[in-house]
């Protein structure tokens, strides 16, 4: 039995999720008596293979093509499906990142495979893989089983922990990708990735502000705390709808779903739609004046107080610890 | 221009989710249903494309009779035709995609619009499945789009940034919030929608590829620690994050 892991890179940078899903693949492989192969696809990406060393794969497959310098939905999907067929993979794992969610439906259809998307847990029961995925914005969970011979799973970023890298070198094999120009019917012509703060969906720490911040100008307090943590900035829907922050930053049912190690909710009361987007965070801190705000019901630590009084000293204290 | 918009009928965002008696599906009692919020951006974009290029906008929804409510709302917003793929059985994303792709094949649209995702099953996979089944291009999570001479230029959200993407018609687009500002149905539109017919078709039954074993509520975390509100609380929080939660 073989598990193929698609290791995501963007602009030549390997995504942390690549290590998470390689580790999840290794966990499955141990229980299924299977082996894991990792697939790296792009242009000039061979050097990234060393970062995937020692996470339990038997091989790292590197498929390069100059035309893959920028992302192409159609070409990447074909490359992944072709390799899965050639290597006779029974299971394909991708990240449920923006790229993974764009690729996985196409890969699954090409492989005639069932697809469980955005999984937050995988386990083996009686030889079957049982995947857990949140539905209704995390208000319920379902356990699902993929019934086709080939199975595709996409795994939510930040949820699966990466194994500790061991010193074992993993074999690297260059493979050829059979891509024609027709496979590039969808092609990115430019990419702009904001520098500075980490992306919301990938950040380990997220600091979010809500209506309690009283105005867009006060979001500097949120930004300063986020920077002290080296984290990302989020916002509630009310704040985005009011035009204080861009929609990119909205956390919640009609915004982004985040699963950081730490989520700090500042001046956010905790509408169900907001809780839906962040309730899978590992540790939740809430700062709110209203002691009855629903956010306190899911917070691990709460400070009942005015954000304007709490945030500046908190930022100072965090800076002392993190040195940022 | 022939424009298809796929729309879904979902529990509203305030819904308190209860697990049904079979332990696999939602308990439908007391639930209000609505047009999935992202689909409104798909409808609006379809209407704007028609206003610019002429043609017709066809809304399609897969589900039971209740989905007619969502199709009526689409008609009220200005969609020309509505098709109900009548099948109330529970279908996985592939089966949904297959049913939609089959009917799109008959219609042969220039463009198929979706909301980024349906807010019930949350998987964002159906647009890509439809595109792949039809052998079409697709661009997901689109926040800006322009069509000129059959060429489609889109801006889509990616992790931590944006990507400008080029493809050609026909294609599948999934809309992200920000693409446009959906219009409210006009009174005239609402009145007209009442008398417009909704065509019904029965999709071919196919087997699900994903089977639900169990549905449950997420584990209750239990109440956390309230640290008060003074300066000591800030210091205590930092200590707890460092020593107990071990995050910093």
Give yes or no for A186 touching B (CB within 8 A): yes
Confidence of residue B159 (pLDDT cuts 50, 70, 90): confident
Task: Look over chain B and give the mean of its residue pLDDT values, rounded to a whole number.
Answer: 95
| Among the partner residues B153, B224, B231, nearest to A300 by beta-carbon distance | B224
Cβ of residue A254 closer than 8 Å to a chain B Cβ: yes
CB half-sphere exposure, A18, CA atoms < 13 A = 24
pLDDT digits (tens, 9 = 90+) for A56-90: 999 999 999 999 999 999 999 999 999 999 999 99
Work out the minimum CA distance from A247 to partner chain B, whole angstroms: 7
The answer to whether the CB of A103 falls within 8 A of the CB of A73 is yes
Are A140 and B19 in contact (CB < 8 Å)?
A: yes
- What's the first-to-final CA gap in chain A, in angstroms? 46
A318 contacts in chain B (CB < 8 Å)? 238, 248
Name the residue facing A138 among B131, B211, B218 (closest C-beta): B218
Contact B15 A99 (CB under 8 A): no
Closest residue in B to A188 (Cα) is B165
Q: What is the pLDDT of residue B228?
A: 83
B-contacting residues in A 49-108 (Cβ below 8 Å): 71, 73-74, 77, 97-99, 101-106, 108
- CA pair distance B136, B107, nearest whole angstrom: 14
The CA distance from B212 to B216, in Å, is 11
Cβ pair A139:B137 closer than 8 A? no
Q: Which residues does residue A142 pair with via DSSP β-bridges, in sequence order?
A: A133, B215
Cβ contacts (< 8 Å) between A234 and chain B: which residues? Answer: none
pLDDT tens sequence across B86-131 = 999 999 999 999 999 999 999 999 999 999 999 999 999 999 999 9
Q: Are A111 and A92 in contact (CB under 8 A)?
A: yes
Compute the average pLDDT of residues A225-254.
94
CB contact under 8 A, B227 and A301: yes
Among A217-231, B151-165, B220-234, which stretch is predicted with the lowest mean pLDDT?
B220-234
| Pairwise CA distance, residues A305 & A290, whole Å | 8
C-beta neighbour count of B122 within 10 angstroms:
19
> Model confidence over B67-92: pLDDT tens digits?
999 999 999 999 999 999 999 999 99
Q: Nearest by CB to B14, which of A272, A296, A317?
A: A272
- List of chain A residues whose C-beta atoms are within 8 Å of the C-beta of residue B119: 136-137, 253-254
Both tokens assigned to B60: 């399609």
Q: Judge contact between A47 and A7, C-beta under 8 A.
A: no
Distance CA A198, CA B55 (A): 43
pLDDT per residue as tens digits for the range B5-22: 999 999 998 888 999 999
pTM of the predicted model over 0.90 = yes
Each residue of A28-67: pLDDT tens digit? 999 999 999 999 999 999 999 999 999 999 999 999 999 9
Residue among B13, B161, B225 whose CB faces A301 most closely = B225
Provide the shortest C-alpha distance from residue A212 to chain B (in Å): 16
Residue B229 has pLDDT above 90, yes or no: no
CA distance A199 to chain B (A): 4
Among candidates B192, B5, B194, B184, which has minimal Cα distance to B77?
B184
Q: Which of the four pLDDT bands, split at 50, 70 and 90, describes residue B224?
A: confident
CB atoms within 10 A of CB A142: 21
With residue A2 as reference, give the H or E element that holds it. Answer: strand A2-7
Number of H helices, E strands in chain B: 6, 13
What pLDDT is recorded for position A178? 94
What number is the ipTM of this complex? 0.95
Chain A residues within 8 A of B143 when measuring between CB atoms: 247
Mean pLDDT of chain A: 95
Phi, psi of B16, rounded to the nearest 5 degrees? -90, 115
Residues from chain B that touch A106, judged by Cβ atoms under 8 A, are: 128-129, 131-132, 138
pLDDT band for A195, please (50, 70, 90 cuts). low
B113 membership: H or E segment, kind and range: strand B111-115
Percentage, residues of chain B above pLDDT 90: 90
**Which residues of B fall within a CB distance of 8 Å from A263?**
none
**What's the mean pLDDT in B39-54?**
98
Which residues of chain A does B138 touch, with a Cβ-Cβ cutoff of 8 Å?
73, 106, 186
A190/B17 Cβ within 8 A = no
- Measured CA to CA, the distance from residue A291 to residue B165 in angstroms comes to 47
Q: Burial level of A190, CB count in 10 A (0-12/13-18/19+)?
A: exposed
């Amino acid at each position: 039995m073989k598990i193929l892991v698609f290791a995501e890179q963007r602009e030549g940078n390997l995504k942390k999720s690549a290590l998470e899903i390689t580790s999840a693949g290794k966990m499955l492989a141990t229980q299924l008596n299977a082996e894991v192969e990792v697939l790296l696809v792009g242009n000039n990406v061979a050097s990234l293979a060393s970062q995937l060393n020692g996470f339990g794969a038997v091989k790292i497959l590197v498929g390069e093509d100059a035309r893959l310098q920028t992302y192409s939905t159609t070409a990447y999907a074909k490359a992944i499906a072709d390799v899965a067929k050639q290597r006779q993979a029974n299971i394909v794992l991708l990240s449920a990142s923006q790229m993974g969610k764009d690729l996985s439906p196409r890969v699954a259809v090409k492989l005639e495979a069932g697809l469980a998307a955005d999984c937050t847990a995988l386990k083996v029961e009686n030889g079957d893989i049982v995947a857990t995925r949140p539905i209704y914005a995390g208000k319920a969970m379902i356990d699902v089983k993929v019934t086709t011979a080939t199975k595709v799973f996409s795994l939510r970023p930040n949820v699966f922990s990466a194994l500790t890298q061991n010193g074992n070198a993993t074999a690297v094999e260059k493979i050829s990708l059979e891509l024609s120009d027709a496979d590039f019917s969808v092609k990115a012509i430019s990419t702009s990735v904001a520098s500075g703060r980490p992306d919301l969906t990938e950040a380990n720490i997220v600091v979010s502000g809500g209506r309690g911040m009283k105005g867009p100008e006060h979001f500097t307090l949120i930004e300063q705390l986020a920077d002290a943590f080296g984290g990302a900035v989020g916002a509630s829907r009310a704040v985005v709808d009011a035009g204080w922050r861009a929609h990119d930053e909205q956390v919640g049912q009609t915004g982004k779903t985040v699963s950081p190690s730490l989520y700090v909710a500042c001046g956010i009361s905790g509408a169900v739609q907001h809780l839906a987007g962040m309730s899978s965070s590992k540790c939740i801190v809430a700062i709110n004046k209203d002691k009855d705000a629903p956010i306190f019901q899911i917070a691990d630590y709460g400070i009942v107080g005015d954000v304007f009084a709490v945030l500046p000293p908190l930022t100072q204290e965090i800076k002392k610890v993190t040195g940022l | 221009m022939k424009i298809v918009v796929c729309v879904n009928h979902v529990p509203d965002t305030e819904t308190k989710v209860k697990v049904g008696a079979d332990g696999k599906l939602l308990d439908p009692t007391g639930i209000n249903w609505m047009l999935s919020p992202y689909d409104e951006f798909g409808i609006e974009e379809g209407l704007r494309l028609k206003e610019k290029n002429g043609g017709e906008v066809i809304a399609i929804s897969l589900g039971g009779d209740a989905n007619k409510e969502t199709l009526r709302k689409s008609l009220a917003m200005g969609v020309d035709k509505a098709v109900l793929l009548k099948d109330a059985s529970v279908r996985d994303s592939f089966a949904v995609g297959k049913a939609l792709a089959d009917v799109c094949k008959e219609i042969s649209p220039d463009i198929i619009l979706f909301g980024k995702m349906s807010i019930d099953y949350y998987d964002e996979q159906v647009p890509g499945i439809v595109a792949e089944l039809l052998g079409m291009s697709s661009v997901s999570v689109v926040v800006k789009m322009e069509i000129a001479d059959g060429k489609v230029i889109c801006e889509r959200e990616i992790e931590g940034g944006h990507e400008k993407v080029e493809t050609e018609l026909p294609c599948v687009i999934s809309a992200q919030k920000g693409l446009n500002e959906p219009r409210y149905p006009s009174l005239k539109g609402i009145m007209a929608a009442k008398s417009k017919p909704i065509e019904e078709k029965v999709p071919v039954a196919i087997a699900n590829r994903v089977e639900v074993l169990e549905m449950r509520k997420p584990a209750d975390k239990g109440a956390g620690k309230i640290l008060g509100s003074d300066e000591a609380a800030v210091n205590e929080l930092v200590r707890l994050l460092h020593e107990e939660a071990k995050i910093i």
